[in-house]
Amino acid sequence: MPEPPAGRGRPAKLDPVDVIRRKRDGERLTDADIAAFIAAYMDGAVADEQAAALCMAVFFRGMDDGETAALTKALIASGRTADLAAIPGTKVDKHSTGGVGDKTSLVLLPLLAAAGFSVAKLSGRGLGHTGGTLDKLESIPGVRVDLPPARFLDQVRRIGIAIAGQGPDLVPADGRLYALRDVTATIESPALIAASVMSKKIAGGADAIVLDVKVGSGAFMKEVAQARDLARRMLAIGRSAGRRVAAVLSDMSQPLGHAVGNAVEVAEAVATLRGDGPPDLAELCLTLAEQVGADRARLRELLRSGAALDRLTAMVEAQGGEPGALDRLPRAPVQVEVAAPASGFVTGVDALAIGRAVADLGAGRRRKEDPVDPAVGVILHRKRGDAVRAGEPLATVLARRDGEGVAAVRAAYEIGAAPPAPLPLVLEVLTG
Ligand code: URA
């Protein structure tokens, strides 16, 4: 009998070298090629060097929406998927492509829980200059993020919110491929990033997903056009999986809010939930919440009444936090002010430079297994557009040793004679 034509559903007899060669030469791969390649990689029949070669071929040749959706499906099929069917109401999730001072999850998710959504959020750790929600949560005394699936689901059902680590059994193929991409210069492929992110979101089981795609020096995507392309790809994948997805492109040329670190960011999130946080953080959280259907006036009321903070407190307690833990966050022993070298206006606070300075203080990690220091960080007193006089504080460095980080934070600031043109925080909103 003749072989059925290549395409959806054809059981593939895999020749990994042929798949790599075809992508290298710019051909489109079939769903079956992609499914068989990923399955064989997980079985050990495809070697690391072959998977790395395919990633490099994709880096140069790209993947169309159909291929990217097939890759997402193949990644999901490598492990367990969360079943949230027993949880009533709309299950929501969010993802940020990573930034500096990005404590959005710690504000947005309790706010959504207070608004009646069920929040079952699987988060990651910081790597390089970007922070991670799990590290921030673990800076709260007693809090655990390694919740077994049954306990995680029970918590969402009881109090409407849980934030935990992903665990090794959800999309394990992404874990292996990401580690390989990290050491083969193949992270920066829009198709691979979109499939990697969306495989985890879809396996996490949410009905509605909001994506915060950061743009600027502190983000993966330095240009709006790149960020828009990534967002469009992620929306297409979400749609093909039957999820409601929206994406917000937001500025990451300077850190979000004033605090950068772990415990300092938790403190800033708590202040924002009390209605007393930085306006940019509050505005971004309200914009993101609106994308899953929440009403802005009601969200403001939930902040004002303390209902949103109450959900964070309940989550902290459910995950092992000591009573009053949010008021007893660790603070580094040395606090040094960084003075402005000249009078004028702040024309830029380089997010990447601040992120690196904070990581060097010990708040971030170079390798996945490095520990992080919960207590160190930076508090920015001046941001883009603010006036400053020579000698006034630009920022405070929270460190373990005197002098650490001061030069790096000072160098991240640009001061000019005239105020800079305003830069919008929310650059675009894309919906499915
Ligand atoms: N974050 C992910 O989860 N995957 C990528 O590929 C890049 C960033």
Apex 116 CA angle, 112 and 120, nearest 5 = 60
Query: Between residues 389 and 168, which one has the greater pLDDT?
Result: 389
Question: Per residue in 181-240, pLDDT tens?
Answer: 988 999 889 999 999 999 999 999 999 999 999 999 999 899 999 999 999 999 999 999
Is the pLDDT at 9 greater than 50? The verdict is no
Protein residue closest via CA to atom 5 of ligand 1:
193
Q: What is the mean pLDDT of residues 71-98?
A: 94
Residue nearest to atom 8 of ligand 1 (CA): 193
Q: How far is CA 250 from CA 80, 210, 424, in A?
A: 32, 13, 8
pTM for the model stands at 0.93
Mean pLDDT across 23-33: 98
Q: How far is the CA of 327 from the centre of ligand 1 (A)?
A: 33
Please identify, by atom number, the ligand 1 atom nearest to the C-alpha of residue 178: 6
List pocket residues of ligand 1, CB cut-off 6 Å.
178, 187, 192-193, 196-197
Catalytic amino acids? Answer: 95, 174, 181, 196, 200
For 335-373, the pLDDT digits (tens) are 999 999 999 999 999 999 999 999 999 998 877 778 899
- Phi, psi dihedrals of residue 57, rounded to the nearest 5°: -65, -40
**Domain 16-62 = CATH 1.20.970.10:** yes
Distance 357 CA to ligand 1 centre (A): 22
> Considering the chain, what percentage of its residues have pLDDT values greater than 90?
88
Structure tokens at 346: 């702040």
Q: Do domains 91-327 and 334-416 have the same CATH topology?
A: no
Distance of CA 258 to the CA centre of its chain: 18
- Span from the CA of 196 to the centroid of ligand 1 (angstroms): 5
Section 273-291 average pLDDT: 97
Question: Considering only CA atoms, which residue is closest to atom 2 of ligand 1?
Answer: 197
Rounded CA separation 347/415 (Å): 5
Closest CA to 352 of 14, 73, 100, 63: 100
Average pLDDT over residues 175-185: 91
Asked whether the beta carbons of 320 and 143 are under 8 A apart, the reply is yes
Q: What's phi and psi for 65, nearest 5 deg?
A: -60, -35
Average pLDDT over residues 311-334: 96
Residue to probe by mutation, ligand 1, list 58, 72, 189, 196, most atoms within 8 Å of CB: 196
Let me know: does 213 contact 230? Beta carbons within 8 Å.
yes
**For range 314-337, the mean pLDDT:** 96
CATH number for the domain running over 91-327: 3.40.1030.10
Nearest residue CA, atom 7 of ligand 1? 193
Domain spanning 334-416: CATH 3.40.30.10: no
- Residue 168: the pLDDT is 86
CA 1 to ligand 1 centroid distance, Å: 43
Which residues have a Cβ under 8 Å from the Cβ of 421 and sit 6 or more positions away?
none
Q: Kindly list the domain boundaries of the chain, sorted by start residue.
A: 16-62, 91-327, 334-416
Q: Which residue has the tokens 């603070």?
A: 331
